[in-house]
């Protein structure tokens, strides 16, 4: 009887030990996953369906920082982005430097963009990226107004320069690899919703996955990366 009890006790202990190893192993494995965040500015455009299709094909998620005037112009593309599980952020009304003219101008543009997004989809976004990035002309007073109204300002730490000068695919990929090698935090990758990028994005996605990255959309639960906090 004692031997049988000892055997069952030992069996239970082994079972609990194996369960603990599996559970903790799963938790740590999830924590060790490398994540990268591809973002697209200035859309939606006629290139958006191609980009979304390629992302979906590779089970990759991304974030689209959209312009208000293009929400109105391409409503179906906005719906496709959300339906596919990607995130939408706000990029202002028309990408004009006028967004920086008044203290409340950035806030007003993001609110207007949000209103158009909500009218179309029933959803709002707190993710914002100002045109040209926060290091361009955004003041601390403008930044504070955005934060006080619940917006989360995102810049980037990887810039393949897909919108600068003549576009050469090999150069864009080289820029991507260069910035990734220097990146100490999770990569926030700046791309633009344009034809040359749409033609290249599959190669980018494949490369990032080969490097062990899980491609995710930005979340409102994350602490945003921007130059105003430096």
The Cα–Cα gap between 63 and 90 comes to 10
Q: For residue 33, what pLDDT band results from cuts at 50, 70 and 90?
A: confident
If you average pLDDT over residues 145-167, what whole number do you get?
94
Q: Please tell me the predicted confidence (pLDDT) of residue 152.
A: 98
156: confidence class by pLDDT, cuts 50, 70, 90: very high
C-alpha distances in Å from residue 166, one per residue of 44, 59, 81, 159, 161: 22, 30, 28, 15, 10
Asked whether the beta carbons of 129 and 92 are under 8 A apart, the reply is no
Beta carbons of 149 and 177 less than 8 angstroms apart: no
Where are the chain's structural domains? 34-224
pLDDT of residue 21: 44
Query: Between 126 and 32, whose confidence is greater?
Result: 126
Q: pTM value?
A: 0.86
pLDDT at 22 over 50: no
User: What pLDDT sits at residue 82?
Assistant: 98
The angle that helices 195-210 and 169-182 make with each other, rounded to 10 degrees, is: 40
Distance CA(185)–CA(36), nearest Å, equals 9
Who wins on pLDDT, 199 or 229?
199
Domain 34-224 has CATH 3.10.20.10: no
* Residue scoring higher pLDDT (11 or 48): 48
| Alpha-carbon torsion, ordered 57, 63, 68, 74, to 10 deg | 0
Q: State the SS3 of 124-156.
A: CCCEECCCCCCCCCCCHHHHHHHHHCCCEECCC
Statement: residue 60 has pLDDT above 80: yes
Condensed to tens digits (0 to 9), the pLDDT of residues 123-138 reads: 999 999 999 999 999 9
Q: In this predicted structure, what is the pLDDT of residue 200?
A: 96
**Dist. CA 16–CA 10, nearest whole Å:** 10
Calculate the average pLDDT of the chain: 90
Q: What is the pLDDT of residue 216?
A: 98
**Mean pLDDT computed over 22-41:** 68
Q: Roughly how many angstroms between the first and final C-alpha of the chain, as a whole number?
A: 69
Mean pLDDT of 48-75: 98
Residue 4: pLDDT band (50, 70, 90) is low
pLDDT in tens, 65-123: 999 999 999 999 999 999 999 999 999 999 999 999 999 999 999 999 999 999 999 99
Portion of the chain with pLDDT greater than 70, in percent: 86
| Over residues 182-210, mean pLDDT | 96
Supply the pLDDT for residue 23.
44
């Amino acid at each position: 009887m004692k031997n049988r009890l000892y055997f069952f006790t030992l069996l239970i202990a082994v079972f609990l030990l194996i369960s603990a190893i599996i559970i903790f192993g799963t938790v740590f494995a999830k924590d060790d996953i490398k994540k990268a965040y591809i973002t697209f500015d200035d859309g939606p455009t006629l290139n958006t369906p191609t980009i979304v299709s390629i992302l979906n094909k590779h089970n990759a998620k991304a974030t689209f920082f959209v312009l208000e005037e293009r929400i109105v112009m391409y409503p179906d593309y906005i719906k496709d982005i959300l339906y596919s599980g990607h995130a939408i952020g706000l990029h202002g009304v028309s990408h004009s430097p006028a967004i920086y003219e008044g203290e409340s101008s950035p806030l007003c543009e993001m609110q207007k963009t949000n209103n158009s997004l909500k009218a179309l989809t029933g959803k709002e976004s707190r993710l914002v990226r100002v045109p040209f990035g926060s290091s361009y002309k955004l003041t601390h007073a403008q930044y504070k107004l955005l934060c006080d109204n619940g917006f989360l300002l995102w810049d980037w730490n990887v810039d393949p320069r897909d919108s600068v000068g003549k576009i050469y695919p090999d150069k864009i990929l080289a820029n991507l690899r260069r910035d990734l090698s220097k990146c100490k935090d999770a990569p926030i990758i700046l791309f633009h919703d344009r034809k040359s990028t749409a033609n290249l994005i599959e190669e980018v996605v494949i490369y990032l996955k080969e490097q062990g990255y899980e491609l995710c959309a930005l979340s409102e639960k994350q602490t945003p990366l921007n130059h105003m906090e430096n």
